[in-house]
């Protein structure tokens, strides 16, 4: 079975300020660079066949450092860009919660039913993810690969790989970490893609 090591980039200034980043392209902060250095040490023992990443600065820089530790050159996949959170981008999470408590809570509990104003539809984002993941899973059947993706797209990727029909978002996923996901055996076979 294919295993995906899903890697979260190090922190940006927005992560430190508890702001929604979405598709705003921010570099790693000082804390983020330190997290990535530690992360690279932690994953250096893993045996990965390939390393993929989203196009944001934080994902690319994280992938570059991790790739050096693993002896892999990261491959940028534009379809793994973060979720466009529209007018919520740049706002502090507490501000959104205070102004729109019911909608924000619904966004976390069932993101398919809420779309941030002028933001991306989660269902369409999941289709984009499946399009990107399908060839990776097929190419690396029975291998382990690394994938660097920002939040919340990383949580959507995890749900797709696990074939979890109920997606709930966690607003406080730590930066600079990783999780191992064993891809469901039927994922990608006979047209089944999540």
pLDDT band at 170 (very low <50, low <70, confident <90, very high): confident
pLDDT at residue 139, as a whole number: 94
pLDDT at 83 over 60: yes
Task: Return the pLDDT at 185.
Answer: 73
pLDDT at 164: 82
Q: Is the pLDDT of residue 58 over 80?
A: yes
Per-residue pLDDT at 189: 54
State how far the Cα of 73 lies from the Cα of 161, in Å rounded to an integer: 23
Whole-model pTM: value is 0.93
pLDDT over threshold 60, residue 160: yes
pLDDT band per the 50, 70, 90 thresholds, residue 31:
very high
**Stretch 73-99: mean pLDDT, rounded?**
96
Per-residue H/E/C for the chain: CCEEEEECCCCCHHHHCCECCCCCCCCCCHHHHHHHHHHHHHHCCCCCCEEEECCCHHHHHHHHHHHHHHCCCCEECHHHCCCCCHHHCCCEHHHHHHHCHHHHHHHHHCHHHCCCCCCCCHHHHHHHHHHHHHHHHHHCCCCEEEEECCCCHHHHHHHHHHCCCCCCCCCCCCCCCEEEEECCCCCCCCCCCC
pLDDT in tens, 4-15: 999 999 999 999
Which domains are assigned to the chain?
A: 3-182 (3.40.50.1240)
User: Would you say residue 193 has pLDDT above 70?
Assistant: no
Alpha carbon distances (Å) from 40 to 25, 27, 73, 76 = 22, 17, 14, 18
* Rounded mean pLDDT, 34-52: 97
86: confidence class by pLDDT, cuts 50, 70, 90: very high
pLDDT of residue 184: 76
Q: Express as a percent the part of the chain with pLDDT over 90.
A: 86
Question: What's the whole-number average pLDDT of the chain?
Answer: 93
């Amino acid at each position: 079975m294919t295993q995906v090591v899903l890697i979260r980039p190090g922190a940006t200034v927005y992560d430190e300020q508890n702001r929604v980043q979405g598709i705003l392209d921010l570099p790693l902060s000082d804390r983020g660079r330190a997290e990535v250095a530690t992360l690279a040490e932690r994953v250096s023992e893993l045996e990965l066949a390939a390393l993929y990443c989203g196009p944001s600065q934080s994902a690319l820089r994280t992938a570059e450092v991790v790739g050096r530790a693993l002896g892999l050159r990261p491959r940028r996949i534009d379809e793994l860009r973060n979720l466009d959170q529209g007018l919520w981008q740049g706002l502090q999470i507490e501000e959104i919660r205070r102004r729109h408590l019911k909608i924000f809570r619904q966004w976390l509990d069932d993101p398919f039913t809420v779309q941030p104003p002028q933001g991306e539809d989660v269902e369409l984002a999941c289709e984009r993810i499946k399009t990107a993941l399908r060839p990776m899973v097929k190419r690396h059947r029975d291998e382990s690969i690394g994938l660097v993706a920002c939040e919340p797209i990383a949580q959507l990727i995890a749900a797709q790989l696990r074939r979890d029909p109920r997606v709930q978002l966690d607003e406080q996923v730590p930066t600079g970490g990783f999780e191992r996901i064993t891809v469901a055996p039927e994922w990608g076979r006979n047209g089944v893609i999540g």
